[in-house]
Amino acid sequence: MNSSRKKEGQMKTKKNEKKTTRRSFMKNLSVAAAAGSAGLVTGGCVSLEKTEEMGLKWEEYFKKNYRLMTEEEKGETVARLERLAKLKGDGDIQMSSQGPRENVLYGYAFNISRCKGYMDCVEACVKENNLDRTSKTQYIRLFEMDSGQLDPTTGDGKYHHEVPVENKFYMGVQCYHCENAPCIKACPTKATWREPDGIVVVDYDWCIGCRYCLAACPYWGRRFNWGEPEIPREEMNRKQHYLGNRMRMKGVMEKCTFCVQRTRQGKLPACAEACPTGSRVFGNLLDPDSEIRFILKHKKVFRFKEELGTDPKFWYFID
């Protein structure tokens, strides 16, 4: 009971502090109601934290689509999610809601002749992006190919042996961040979209889990959380982004985000940084001096399933 009174007290001070809009009033009211009912049900002996957690979850449930949030609302939800993670025992998360940088359009190029199939990219991606260890989710897959083919669908995506192998070559596939992305068109709730810097993202909290985007993607670039994703606490990456590697929940879609939590701070995606052979090139397509622009200009490049008109921002090239 104490806690609910405390909440009401907080609400009052908050109300005095700034002009109350109807929305924020309703929100505060709902927190108070949730907190109050929780207090009533358990007869007041429940811990303060439990009540707080319920209130936060209640507010999270009613929040808007990320794209419609003001900067202030983005800050609030990030703060709530950080607090919820702490209450859950996940420790101190630093979650960012950093927006796209000016004059940036990300592009990726993959050097087929250099890749030796070491899979360091896959491992780095799994760690960086907090991918579910139980289902062994991977955003990146490497296909081992025989000479005479150039289509990963004819390659072996499950090879498990020492590399490199004589007369074999390797192609990495992941989300291609299409400019004309079929997944975005398919989503019934606008839970997935393309950011101004070209990254196709998912608002995990807005996704209803219908999996129409998964059916629409011609590159198998999307993954669904069939169960509750799990990561050992000590392996969790706590530097997170709302649209990126924050912890997902069961029943929602996820995908490669070009490591939005890293790239928007000017770093390379984890896969490109981890690659021991230098096969992975990432950069700003709008910067004429970038390496990616050099490759597009001077190498022979191609894109996968070009005939579908999806306009991927991911090219393959051969030295």
Partner 1 sequence: MTTNPQKESSFISDCIRWSLSGGIGFKIYLVALLAIMGTGLFSYTKQFQEGLIITGMSDIVSWGLYISNFTFFVGVAAAAVMLILPAYMLKDKDMHEVVIIGECVAVGALIMCLMFITVDMGGPFKVWHMIPGIGLFNWPSSILTWDVLVLNGYLALNSLVPLYILYCNYHNRKPVGWKYKPFVFLSIFWAISIHMTTAFLYQGLPARPFWNNPLLGPRFLASAFAAGPAVIMMVLIAIKQWTRYPVNAQIFFKLKRIIVVSAVINLVMLFSEVFKEFYTFTHHSLSAQYLFFGLQGHDSLVPWIWSAIGLNILGTLLFAFDPTKGNPRYLMVAAISLFTGIWIEKGFGLIIPGFVPSPMGEVVDYTPTSNEILITLGVLATGVLVVTLLIKPALAILLKYKETNA
Q: Which residue lies nearer to partner 1 by CB, 228 or 287?
A: 228
Q: Which residue lies nearer to partner 1 by CB, 93 or 253?
A: 253
Q: How far is the CB of 165 from partner 1 (least distance, A)?
A: 19
Phi/psi of residue 136, nearest 5 degrees: 55, 50
Q: How far is the CB of 31 from partner 1 (least distance, A)?
A: 18
Q: How far is the CB of 190 from partner 1 (least distance, A)?
A: 4
Question: Which tokens hold the place of 306?
Answer: 């070009």
Q: Which residue lies nearer to partner 1 by CB, 144 or 264?
A: 144
Q: Which residue lies nearer to partner 1 by CB, 19 or 136?
A: 136
Q: Which residue lies nearer to partner 1 by CB, 157 or 164?
A: 157
Q: How far is the CB of 56 from partner 1 (least distance, A)?
A: 17
Q: Applying CB under 8 A, which residues contact partner 1? A: 61, 65, 68, 135, 141, 143, 152-155, 157, 173, 182, 185-191, 206-212, 214-220, 222-228, 250-253, 308
Q: How far is the CB of 221 from partner 1 (least distance, A)?
A: 9
Q: Which residue lies nearer to partner 1 by CB, 103 or 189?
A: 189
Q: How far is the CB of 9 from partner 1 (least distance, A)?
A: 30
Q: Which residue lies nearer to partner 1 by CB, 24 or 290?
A: 24
Q: Any residues with CB less than 8 A from the CB of 205 and at least 6 apart, and which?
A: 60, 63, 66, 252
Q: How far is the CB of 288 from partner 1 (least distance, A)?
A: 33
Per the CB < 8 A criterion, the answer to whether 130 and 231 are in contact is: yes
